[in-house]
A and B are shown apart, each in its own frame.
Chain A
Amino acid sequence: MSSDEGQQHPLTIYWIMWTALFVLSGFSYATDFMDPGYVRWSLILILMFVKAGGIVFIFMHMGWERLALKLAILVPPVFIGVLIILMALEADNTFLTRIEFFGDSPMEVETPGHH
């Protein structure tokens, strides 16, 4: 354990980050008034990742940690991408199977095997 004091930074950094989070969240909320589509979805994701990065790197001080800790904590979540791709493929498959067997709206079919 290091005896010197850990993460000490000028307060200005926190004020800037805090203000930025407010402004970016305001933008996020504003996307709710846009029409659904690729522009809105991209904006939602971009703002989400910028805010998340700010919280992790500034508020949680990850930006000032050594590379060993950075890589050990930040690399594993990247593999969630694999799960997302697999589940998206599987969801498409389920969706098409439901259309195939239940028609457009499975909820209107009373119970499977009823007819």
Chain B
Amino acid sequence: MSEAAVSSSGEALDDGAKGFVQDFSSDMQAFHVPWGKAMMWIFLLSDTFIFSCFLVSYMKVRMSTTDPWPYPSEVFALEAFGYNVPLLLIAIMTFILITSSGTMALAVNMGYRKKKKTTFWLMVATAALGASFVGMQAFEWTKLIMEGVRPWENPFGAAQFGSSFFMITGFHGMHVTAGVIYLLVVANRVRTGFYERRGNNYEIVEIAGLYWHFVDLVWVFIFALFYLW
């Protein structure tokens, strides 16, 4: 189901391994996608390496410290209905981000179907869910800072816990914030008919969607490696 790709001389290109060789061997466009999409993928690849550096350095400090690592299950527990529920807020944040990924996927689909209004509202819903995620993260940070967690020390155990926590979740939260702004800008242009005037082309919604799904993707790794481990 990949997009029909043609060479510069107009011949249809093969799929699979043969197509891969054709794409890279001839003097022509290697990626048969809109340039914006190829560039977004390459940006996301570089971002993958940045987040990997944070997560690998977190692994390194956690493995090398001789102090006990604070148990995230208890550090991030919240009291609800008289019970101490482990990772309650983190679980809610996870489900919010997944929900926003779903609304974004639908927005991309509706964009290609030229349903302007539905696309706009789905994108606004995605941005709103993202904003609530950032709000909860601010709450989480406030709670931990009040409990005395600092990048250089904390009352629960190994000092490296604080620096890892603030770096990783801070950088991710910054990505979510940027994503909310990005989505709102694109959503507004969908609403005003900006893309309609430009050949009725909603590819930019898919490109914005790639960024948003990536933010969710990174959270999957942070949730597993930082909060659950």
Chain A residues proximal to chain B, CB less than 8 Å: 1-2, 4-9, 11, 14, 17-18, 21-22, 25, 28-29, 31-33, 41, 44-45, 47-48, 51-52, 55-56, 59-61, 64-69, 71-73, 76-77, 80, 83-84, 87-88, 90-92, 94-95, 98-99, 102, 104-107
What is the interface residue range for chain B against chain A?
Answer: 35 or more
Nearest residue in B to A80 (C-beta to C-beta)? B52
B129 within 8 A of A: no
CA gap between A91 and B59 in the complex, in Å: 8
**Contact assessment for A66 and B105 in the assembled complex, using a CB-CB cutoff below 8 Å:** no
**Contact assessment for A48 and B63 in the assembled complex, using a CB-CB cutoff below 8 Å:** no
**Contact assessment for A66 and B73 in the assembled complex, using a CB-CB cutoff below 8 Å:** no
Which secondary structure dominates chain A's binding surface? Answer: helix
**Contact assessment for B35 and A83 in the assembled complex, using a CB-CB cutoff below 8 Å:** no
**Contact assessment for A55 and B64 in the assembled complex, using a CB-CB cutoff below 8 Å:** no
Residues of A within 8 A of B5 (CB): 2, 66
Choose the segment among B87-95, B133-141, B170-178, B181-189 that binds chain A (4+ C-beta atoms closer than 8 Å): B87-95
The residue that A2 contacts in the complex, of B4, B19, B49, B112, with Cβ under 8 A, is: B4
**Contact assessment for B31 and A92 in the assembled complex, using a CB-CB cutoff below 8 Å:** no
**Contact assessment for A65 and B33 in the assembled complex, using a CB-CB cutoff below 8 Å:** yes
CA gap between A60 and B115 in the complex, in Å: 20
Residues of B within 8 A of A51 (CB): 220
Contact flag A32-B34 (CB < 8 Å), given A67-B15, A80-B49, A80-B52: no
